[in-house]
Chain A
Amino acid sequence: MSRKINLTLKVWRQKNASSSGRFETYEAKGIDTDASFLEMLDVVNEQLEKRGVEPIAFDHDCREGICGMCGAVVNGMAHGPEKETTLCQLHMRKFKDGDTITIEPWRANGFPIVRDLVCDRSAFDRIISAGGFIGVRTGQAPEAHSVPVGKDKADWAMDAAECIGCGACVAACPNASAMLFVSAKVTHLNVLPQGQPEKNKRVLGMVSQMDAEGFGNCSNHYECEAACPKGISVKNIAKMNRDYLAAAIKA
């Protein structure tokens, strides 16, 4: 049963990367409890536009939890309080009438704020460019059984490949470290036979790019795993640490 609820929003407003931001308080009246969090923001933005206020800028794309574009820190938690849920899949029925909701952008020096809740996550693209691929000629899909992959390896690679690169791990990390993202991207290739030839080059390249982007160091709090909308395990971080050590010894 959908109901209408009234909320108070405290939203981070920031004009551009160089300006200093501040919180603005808005009343969100008559929000349908079946609305998603982003639909709630759409409604608020419409109300703001009618009042002549600049709408709140936020990132979004598929709105079905698979693209990794959306995300904000809701009441101190990346993607809000629901486990394994992206912001677009968080529904307003999880909030109570009269609640005050604080909405902030991902904060990390590796993710400079572009405007309001939008931050620049191109650091992730540069990390992928530093080795998160398999450098073989493309062509027709090979016969499925030409390279046998063990069930355990296939499952692990698929689990790691679930990462949508939203950046919630960085946002939730007390050190603003990108280890969960990078380890998921390293591991989903490094456990597969296809990833073996470039295994060492990949882990060294991606870690060094990660460090260059100004992310912090992992100190094993495991907040990232708890915040991840795809449930990526810190097992991948351990695997990346292991691969890195092995690559460093061979180098």
Chain B
Amino acid sequence: MITKLAPFFRSSVFKKQLVAITGLILVGFIIVHLAGNFIIFLGPDAFNHYSATLHAVPELLWIARVILIVAAIVHIYFTIVLTIENRKSGGAGRYAVKTTHGETNFAKKFMILTGLLLFFFLFLHLADFTLGEKTVEQTTLKGVDLGLYGLVWNSFLNPFRVVVYLAAVWCVGMHLSHGIQSMFQSIGFYHNRYTPQIRSASLVLGAVIAAGFSLIPVVIIVRHLMGGPTV
């Protein structure tokens, strides 16, 4: 079985398809994560309730986490392998005159870079909001302990963190603007009418997701300047 399957894991086409399928799982997570995060706009009670619901059944949470971790590892491993092979193939930047035929773009060329930046950001992000015990000071707003809501609010009042966060979510947007349509192509979906629409949707979705995540610190900062949350 293993020896029969081994050649596929060395094949250029199958490796891309693994990247595509794991990418789909990760895109799914990003969209759910964004939708969930928007609950923050409904106030501390709703947001903390959402967080508690996610943690209500630890077994389910861990199943989801394991799926995501495995998907991320497979995705990152194979994209690195593919990139190394592409560098060895006498590829990019080999001509004296640097130009394109008009199809490639910044997002496509820097997929591995935006991907790796996101990988490093992930650890910062988990350290900020998921891992470790938080002090009461970190979660307290105007003298009231607001739990995760307070933590997010206080975190985004740090300009350094906001800049890193915004850079990261726009990396997500750029990565997805190419990644989503790329997924369809790699798995083998092409339709004369729908494929051009998928390519446009991929660009739009990338921008919408990045803008959506950006909205969170922006709204928090604006509300802070206007006098903070009504506690």
Contact = CB atoms under 8 A, between A and B. Distances in A.
Interface of A: 10, 23, 73, 75-78, 102, 104, 107-110, 172-177, 179, 207-208, 210-211, 214-223, 225-227, 234-235, 237-245, 248, 251
B17 interface: yes
A223 B92 contact: no
Contacts, number: 151
B98 A76 contact: yes
A76 B99 contact: yes
Interface in B134-174: none
Given A208-B11, A218-B12, A172 B101 contact: yes
Nearest 8 CB-CB pairings of A with B? A242-B188, A76-B97, A216-B89, A238-B190, A226-B101, A76-B99, A175-B86, A109-B90
Given A207-B12, A240-B13, A220 B91 contact: no
A239 to B, nearest CB: 7
Contacts of B100: 76, 223
Contacts of B96: 10, 23, 76, 102, 104
Interface of B: 4, 7-8, 10-17, 82, 85-86, 88-92, 94-104, 108-109, 111, 178, 181-182, 184-190, 192, 195
Contacts of A108: 89-91
Nearest to B192: A235
A214 B188 contact: no
A104 B17 CA distance: 34
Contacts of B181: 220
Nearest to B178: A220
A108 B92 CA distance: 10
Interface-central residue, B86, B90, B186, by most chain A CB under 10 Å: B90
A109 B90 CA distance: 5
Given A211-B12, A244-B14, A77 B101 contact: yes
Contacts of B186: 218, 220, 241
